[in-house]
Amino acid sequence: MAQAVKPIETIGVLTSGGDAPGMNAAIRAVTRKALKNGMKVMGIDKGYQGLLAKEIRELTAKEVSDSIQRGGTILKTARSEEFRTEAGRKKAAGILGELGIDAIVVIGGDGSYRGALGLSHEGIGVVGLPGTIDLDIACTEYTIGFDTAVNTAMEAIDKIRDTSSSHERCSRVEVMGRAAGYIALWCGIASGAEEILLPERYDYNEQEIINHIIETRKLGKTHFLLVNAEGIGHSVSMARRIEAATGMETRATILGYMQRGGSPTCKDRVYASIMGAYAADLLHKGIINRVVGYQKGEFTDFDIDEALAMQKTIPDYYVEVATALAR
Ligand code: ADP
């Protein structure tokens, strides 16, 4: 475990990459716990891009008030090509050094962690907090925003299901997740979908899905729900093919960015608060280059390079259960 060479007096906090509900609860917790620990806190706007542009201001306890219930991120977020280069990260480390910022808390996904690891090589202490609606960070069973996103998507799917049932339609609903199928898997189980298509298991058979619809319609089933992750793609064209092959009216709905927004759920507010405070405590103890996670009912932390080397897979048993209960 890496230890800072001198006590950490000033920390920075930023949100980076895709935004996620609950990021504000994390920013608030980092800020207030660090202040309680006697540290000074600087808010860096717009992720690494804002860091390179010196969009940095001091955060007080008041500054983060009235934010825990808000979606999005009060610090804004962005992506930065310059920060991907070593020269960009050296420049960023120089800016942090000039402002007397010893370490930063990075709230974001895998990409943001890679950037943070690069920054740690330039002598800046980092702590990562898992902020992503996709749940695709290997070292943790919880990521900030996932709970809100799946509840938002589930509620939308329930509404689609009502109308699909009235009209005896087949609905195909695309949820977020380009490379990760957790949102689709959870929403699919929670909504009782007949089919759940995941990017991690690109082995579905379209003809088999069509045959299933034809067969079960003969037995009296009047509506169908297929949930797929964004990474599966061609939602609209597949819906058209299903309609042509089965004769059943089939509509595709792409839920899109609504899944990123909204007021965070209680779980996202509470877990993000604990993780944020945990990050401030690590830095207060001089512990750097770690990421905070949640495993087997406990909050914990890992070396950032160790965390980035872990592989996340979809749990087989979830898929088995989803399949067993769907039909
Ligand atoms: P997320 O953190 O949600 O996965 P991105 O992958 O877009 O989002 O990453 C956010 C930012 O982190 C990027 O715009 C870039 O500045 C930085 N970043 C991503 N990957 C790397 C990398 N391999 N090395 C250095 N910086 C990176």
For ligand 1, pick from 44, 52, 79, 176 the residue to mutate: most ligand atoms within 8 Å of CB. 79
| CA 47 to ligand 1: nearest atom | 11
The residue behind tokens 């900030």 is 144
| CA 113 to ligand 1: nearest atom | 2
What pLDDT does residue 327 have? 75
Cross-sheet strand order for the sheet of 224-229:
195-197, 224-229, 170-175, 250-254
User: 282 near 274, Cβ under 8 Å?
Assistant: no
The CATH architecture annotation of domain 149-260 reads 3-Layer(aba) Sandwich (3.40)
Return the amino acid letter for 321.
Answer: V
CA dihedral 198, 305, 11, 91 (to 10 degrees): -100
Active-site residue, 136 included:
no
CA dihedral 52, 43, 7, 144 (to 10 degrees): -100
Q: For ligand 1, which residues put their CB under 6 angstroms from it?
A: 16-18, 48, 79-80, 83-84, 108-112, 114-115, 118, 132
* Cα 109 to ligand 1 centre (Å): 8
Do the domains at 2-145+264-309 and 149-260 have one common CATH topology?
yes
Over residues 86-138, the pLDDT tens digits come to 999 999 999 999 999 999 999 999 999 999 999 999 999 999 999 999 999 99
User: 255 near 176, Cβ under 8 Å?
Assistant: yes
The C-alpha angle with vertex 53 and arms to 23 and 39, in degrees rounded to 5, equals 55
- Residues facing 205 on adjacent strands: none
What pLDDT does residue 202 have? 77
- Give the residue ranges of DSSP H helices in 39-85: 47-52
Whole-angstrom distance, CA of residue 214 vs CA of residue 190? 24
Structure tokens at 39: 């540290």
> What is the H or E stretch that residue 57 is in?
strand 56-58
Nearest residue (by CA) to ligand 1, atom 8, is 17
- Residues facing 127 on adjacent strands: 105, 290
What is the pairing mode between strands 290-295 and 287-288?
Answer: unpaired
Low-confidence ranges of the chain (pLDDT < 50): none
What pLDDT does residue 231 have? 95
For ligand 1, pick from 16, 73, 144 the residue to mutate: most ligand atoms within 8 Å of CB. 16
- Give the residue ranges of DSSP H helices in the chain: 23-36, 47-52, 86-98, 110-120, 146-166, 182-191, 206-218, 235-246, 266-284, 304-309, 316-326
Residues 6 or more apart whose CB falls under 8 angstroms from that of 62 comprise none
- DSSP conformational letter for 258: G
User: 263 near 181, Cβ under 8 Å?
Assistant: no
Whole-angstrom distance, CA of residue 110 vs CA of residue 68? 24
User: 122 near 92, Cβ under 8 Å?
Assistant: yes
Give the mean pLDDT of the chain.
Answer: 96
Structure tokens at 52: 């390179």
Residue tagged active-site, from 19, 102, 110, 134: 134
What pLDDT does residue 201 have? 87
What pLDDT does residue 63 have? 97
Structure tokens at 213: 């619809």
What pLDDT does residue 118 have? 98
Q: Could you tell me which CATH number the domain at 2-145+264-309 has?
A: 3.40.50.450
Extents of the domains making up the chain: 2-145+264-309, 149-260
What pLDDT does residue 207 have? 95
